[in-house]
Copies of this chain bind each other. A is one copy, B any other.
Amino acid sequence: MRYIADLREGEQVQEHYLCVNKQVLKTRAGKTYYSLKLQDKTGVVDAKIWDLNDGINDFNEHEYIKIDALVITFQNSIQLNIRRLRKSSEGEYDPREYIPVSNRDIGEMYEELLVYVHAIENKYLSTLVKKFFIEDRDFISIFKSHTAAKTMHHSYLGGLLEHTLCVLNMCEFLANQYTMINKDILYTAALFHDVGKMNELSAFPIIEYTDPGQLLGHIVITIEWISDEIRQIVGFPDALGNMVKHCILAHHGELEYGSPKKPQTIEALALHFADNCDAKLRTFTDLLEGSEVEGNWLGFQRIFDSNVRRTKF
């Protein structure tokens, strides 16, 4: 594959890219042209279609397209002049070339996650989690491939699964250290805590906040989902359901971070710590691995409200 990062002025390129933005504009002279942004996992590039001739087939934003274009430079940046264009067919391209994917094997991670699913002994909670994580193929399929965030930690295919698994690992550690913790409640809440992101963030290839994501947020979406299922499990104790829901509602830890309740049970507190700890240490790791800054200091990082340093001495 011809990656965007490797394009050079003057070459002619035929390749599939993801069209992440399409604008229909007019020149001063009144002629219509298209201005596009094309993406693969190595970067984004501007492209123009000046001549809307027969070689330019119909296509939409957020679709994969096959282009035939000349690489030029404009104001010190690479730009593509597209001469021919058609939609790509499924199978012609590998989505993994277009956004980052978890380094870990998704199947293996899901196996590890199922260990926690099966570890839940309370019959009501066991029924609840199995309805989603074992019986619901659509849910499982999306859960496995979703991202955990728009721009931060775990913003890649499989990120939601990877984050959920890391949170579960820390929950297990905490439940072993602080034995007042009810493992069944904590594991259940950890499994579900971010599933609402499957509806809050649009799926690959374009990660954007959805309408329900902005209006309700992933916490409330999650509550709606499990609330509905709980209602259908005969005999599910109200208090038990409320304790799981409370953990999910409170997992951001503070009202100002969007949790409508502060943690009031030890499981809610433990889930908040596990979630926060994984999010922050993963982000820090990504920073350390991804930064191209030379020297030890990587500059001010808003999420840490601080400059950040490599560990070198």
Q: Which residue in B28, B216, B220, B281 is a CB contact (below 8 Å) of A174?
A: B281
B212, A242: Cβ atoms closer than 8 Å:
yes
B237 touching A309 by the CB < 8 A rule?
Answer: no
Q: Which of B212, B266, B282 contacts A281 (CB 8 A)?
A: B266
Copies in the complex: 6
A contact residues vs B (CB 8 Å cutoff)? 8-9, 28, 73, 166, 169-170, 173-174, 177-178, 180-182, 185, 211-212, 214-217, 219-220, 223-224, 227-228, 231, 237-240, 242-243, 245-246, 249, 255-267, 269-270, 273, 276-277, 280-282, 284-285, 288-289, 296-297, 304-313
Say whether B245 contacts A215, CB under 8 Å: yes
- List residues of chain B with CB within 8 A of the CB of A73: 28
Q: Among the listed B9, B211, B273, B281, which residue makes an inter-chain contact with A269, where contact means beta carbons less than 8 Å apart?
A: B281
Closest 3 CB pairs of A and B: A239-B313, A215-B246, A240-B313
- Bound Cα distance A188, B227 (Å): 22
Residue of B whose beta carbon sits closest to that of A266:
B284
Chain B hits for A242, CB < 8 A: 211-212, 215-216, 313
Once bound together, how far apart are the Cα atoms of A270 and B296, in whole Å? Answer: 19
What residues of B have a CB within 8 angstroms of the CB of A214 in the complex?
264, 297, 307, 309
Asked whether B284 lies within 8 Å of A277 as measured between CB atoms, the reply is no
Neighbouring B residues of A258 by C-beta, 8 Å: 255, 260-261
Q: Given A214-B307, A260-B220, answer yes or no on A285-B245 (Cβ-Cβ < 8 Å).
A: no
Do A264 and B309 contact each other (CB < 8 Å), given the known contacts A255-B258, A273-B281, A277-B273?
yes
Q: Which of B8, B269, B309 contacts A284 (CB 8 A)?
A: B269
B contact residues around A219 at 8 Å (CB): 260
Instruction: Kindly name the residue among A237, A289, A311 whose own CB sees the greatest number of chain B CB atoms within 10 A.
Output: A311
Report how far A181 CA is from B214 CA in the complex, Å: 20
- Taking a contact as CB atoms under 8 Å apart, the answer to whether B177 and A169 are in contact is yes
In angstroms, Cα B265 to Cα A181, docked, is 31
Partner of A312, one of B177, B239, B281: B239
Q: Which residues of B contact A262 (CB under 8 A)?
A: 304-306
User: In the complex, A166 Cα to B174 Cα: how many Å?
Assistant: 11
Complex contact A311–B267 (CB within 8 A): yes
Q: How far is the CB of A72 from chain B (nearest CB, A)?
A: 11
Contact partners of A312 in chain B: CB under 8 A: 239
Bound: A201/B237 CA distance, A: 20
Determine which of B180, B211, B249 lies in contact with A285 in the assembled complex, contact meaning CB atoms within 8 Å: B180
Q: With the chains together, A212 CA to B313 CA distance in Å?
A: 12
A208 to chain B minimum Cβ distance, whole angstroms, is 10
Not counting A224-B227, A266-B311, A273-B280, a sample of 13 additional A-B residue pairs whose C-beta atoms are within 8 angstroms of each other reads A8-B28, A173-B173, A180-B284, A211-B239, A215-B243, A223-B223, A224-B224, A228-B228, A239-B312, A239-B313, A243-B313, A264-B308, A265-B309
